[in-house]
Amino acid sequence: MQFINNKLNLQFDKLDFKFGFRYTFIFLLSLTFNGYLFGLNFGLLSAIISFLYFTIPNRNIKIRPLSKIAYIYLNIISITFLGYLATTNLFLSLLFNLLVPFVVVCVLTNETNINGYMFYYFLFIFMQILNINLDILNFYLLSIFIALIIGYVFEEVIFSKNHKNIDVDIIDFKEYFFISLKSNYTKLRNGLNLDSFISRFAFRLSIATVFSFVFFKYLNLPKWYWISISSCCTLVPICSENNARAFNRIKGTVIGAFIFLISSFLIKDTFTFMILASFSILLTFAYLPHNRQTESFVFSTYVTLSCSIISLSSITATIYRVLYVFIGAFIAILFNKLVLPNKKIYLDNDKFSF
């Protein structure tokens, strides 16, 4: 155990349990409620939406609460529909997996919010993973709306100390909508200049997304999306961060898979297994505020494998998970080196942080 602790460098003083308990509760509430109404797949996605509400770009826009929800939900509907279209045939899959990541990164990334693209990007790729057809799309959108309301109520009313304050600079919804359209058009036009730091990353992520979500999907591998998520989530704007992030992801996955295998052989009681999975969700969230990537990957791997044994044996799921994360991390490193790598000026004078 001491060996594992030294190699992993666990820092228990870096756990933010207040943060962890808050968002674990939100996650499980949304999972339970939407899972009961719409099924497990809808419940899992809506739980992720509820948790990630605090990372939604422009969440703190100065418009009234109902208008804020409407504006964010309009964006979600747009991304959701594009994700659905990307699953209908090969041509649209290639087209939208190339265009959507590029647009989202260019519009939502800047020096003060370099990971602003992540919420809508993840929503786009999750839509393709679930492969929802048009007949149940309305249930999917309803579950997301419920998740959005849950995230809003807890993050900006219950957990917020300033929710009773009325901002004096609240602007009209229509005015904000047209301001946003004009701003987004300008950002997208500037994004066509591939000398830009953001544009080069946007193009790199688009190519990686096309490769991951078309090539591996049509190979029809079991749990193929683990490769795609691993490659696309390892690829980040800062080139120098990619190798470290890939290493942390591989290390955390291997240790998390080892812990899962041990527990799956020793623990046969379903209730205890579910308690451990819930505790792993708590630890995954509790490490996030201090950016402890490896530890978060350890426990997120445990949670993922706990869910995967519904369709796979524990050994098979573990082998797939470790192998696919290795492949995904390698793809991220390869694309980072080969597809529009950042120019020397960015590497020498990096103003961004991730």
* Alpha helices, DSSP H, located in the chain: 2-8, 17-38, 40-52, 65-85, 90-108, 118-130, 137-153, 173-191, 197-210, 216-219, 225-234, 239-266, 270-287, 293-308, 314-338, 344-348
DSSP 8-state symbol, 339: S
Domain annotation covers residue 230: yes
Same domain (yes/no): 251, 125 = no
Rounded to an integer, the average pLDDT of 39-65 is 79
Same domain (yes/no): 349, 278 = yes
Same domain (yes/no): 266, 330 = yes
Per-residue pLDDT tens digits for 279-315:
888 888 888 887 788 888 899 999 889 888 877 888 9
CA distances from 53 to 48, 75, 88, 172, 236 (A): 8, 13, 28, 22, 20
Q: Which amino acid is at 136?
A: I
Same domain (yes/no): 188, 224 = no
Same domain (yes/no): 32, 177 = yes
Per-residue pLDDT at 351:
42
Same domain (yes/no): 266, 181 = no
Domain annotation covers residue 82: yes
The residue segments making up the domain with residue 181 are 14-192
Instruction: Report whether pLDDT(53) > 90.
Output: no
Q: How far apart are CA 135 and CA 26, in angstroms?
A: 28
Instruction: Report whether pLDDT(131) > 80.
Output: no
Question: How far is Cα of residue 147 from the mean position of the Cα atoms in its chain?
Answer: 15
Same domain (yes/no): 147, 66 = yes
**Percent of the chain whose predicted confidence (pLDDT) is above 90:** 11
Instruction: Report whether pLDDT(8) > 70.
Output: no
> What is the model's pTM?
0.82
Contact at 8 Å (CB) between 106 and 206?
A: no
Rounded to an integer, the average pLDDT of 106-131 is 80
Q: How far apart are CA 68 and CA 74, in angstroms?
A: 10
Per-residue pLDDT at 347:
41
Instruction: Report whether pLDDT(123) > 50.
Output: yes
| HSE value, Cβ hemisphere, 13 Å, CA-based, for 189 | 6
Rounded to an integer, the average pLDDT of 242-250 is 87
Per-residue pLDDT tens digits for 99-118:
999 999 988 876 666 677 88
- Of 192, 207, 238, which marks where a domain is finished? 192
Q: How far apart are CA 245 and CA 125, in angstroms?
A: 20
| HSE value, Cβ hemisphere, 13 Å, CA-based, for 111 | 4
CA distances from 19 to 26, 115, 124, 289 (A): 11, 20, 26, 8
Per-residue pLDDT tens digits for 151-183:
888 888 887 766 555 455 577 777 878 888 888
Q: How far apart are CA 11 and CA 290, in angstroms?
A: 10
Same domain (yes/no): 235, 132 = no
142 is written with which tokens?
Answer: 């309803």
320-332 burial, b for 16+ CB within 10 Å, e for fewer? bbbebbbbbbbbb
Rounded to an integer, the average pLDDT of 231-250 is 82
Rounded to an integer, the average pLDDT of 212-229 is 81
Same domain (yes/no): 132, 59 = yes
Rounded to an integer, the average pLDDT of 198-210 is 88
Per-residue pLDDT at 257:
93
The total number of structural domains that make up the chain = 2
CB atoms within 10 A of CB 73: 16
Rounded to an integer, the average pLDDT of 73-83 is 89
* Alpha helices, DSSP H, located in 192-269: 197-210, 216-219, 225-234, 239-266
